[in-house]
Amino acid sequence: MNHPTTVNSSDRLCILCISIAVLAFFLQIQTALAEQYDSNSPYQRDTAYVGIMSRLLFSAHRTDTSIATEMAFLDFMDNIGKKGEFKNYSSSEHVLHDMKNHRLDAVLTNPLDYIDLEYQINPTQQYSLTFGDQLEQQIHLLVRKNLKIKQLNQLANKRLAFPAGNQLGKLYLDLILLRNNLAPSEDFFSEVQSGQDLNTAIINLFFKKVDAALVTDVSYNLAIELNPQLPQEIEIFSSSSPMIPLVIGINRSVPSEFIQKVGQMVDNLDNYPRTLHLLSLFKANRIVRINRQQLEPIKALKGRV
């Protein structure tokens, strides 16, 4: 006949000690894994990766604005204790891929491409630049006065100038052509001169090298200041509604510490005269917060074409 096994006090103490030892062992493993994760965290690095999509600024020569942009934002990163490394992107898919894999912390892009990236951006961390005192800019379609253009179809087979990569400008132009039952810009005009900056486009229009130019109100007003004779030769045929010309967005995966430093610097930009000076090299003077509602006019424009 079998008798039930009894556990004396010494055995119970032994079992308790073993249980404590096993628990301590698993806690030690968990702590080690956590420390390893922290040390391998994609954001525990000295370098912040910033992406640039397409051409952003058209106020000066492409090379000049690219250099000025990188200098300004390298200085910006230095102010928050980070090195900066720039990457150029040609597609939204590549930007999203690198953001999701923690290889891209922020992106500077035109607003049309930004709409495709928006869901990967922290909704409280969207910024833009002001030019002069303007956050939003209008797109002007300028024509030579001597052509006496009264209707859009009179520009058929004429020569157009506007910088390559100005996607927002092209979208606006194609929309007004569509509304008038006319062909898209690449088929409507006999020649589209691209590659130059906005000021060059205005000068070429003034000297009759082209018949029309697509520019921003900021660039047009600046050109008039430099050359008061311009309005005698050229005029505004059509203008868009005011829109934000570029967007800076921070990856929603970026830690709050990084975000707080960026926000503090933007809110106290007057304490960083070097950054302000570098922004002025491409006619910008502030970095400002924006919200998604301010991008609605661009989304509406995109939806109509």
- For residue range 254-264, list pLDDT tens digits in order: 888 888 888 88
Q: Which long-range contacts (CB under 8 A, 24 or more apart) does 37-43 make?
A: 42/102, 42/103, 43/102, 43/105, 43/253, 43/254, 43/255, 43/258
pLDDT at 68: 66
Ordered by start, the domain boundaries in the chain are 47-135+244-304, 139-239
Residue 121 near residue 277, CB atoms below 8 Å: no
pLDDT at 289: 92
> Which CATH architecture is the domain 47-135+244-304 placed in?
3-Layer(aba) Sandwich (3.40)
pLDDT at 32: 43
> Which CATH architecture is the domain 139-239 placed in?
3-Layer(aba) Sandwich (3.40)
Are domains 47-135+244-304 and 139-239 of this chain identical in fold? yes
Ranges of the chain with pLDDT below 70? 1-43, 54-66, 68, 164-165, 195-196, 304-305
Total-model pTM: 0.78
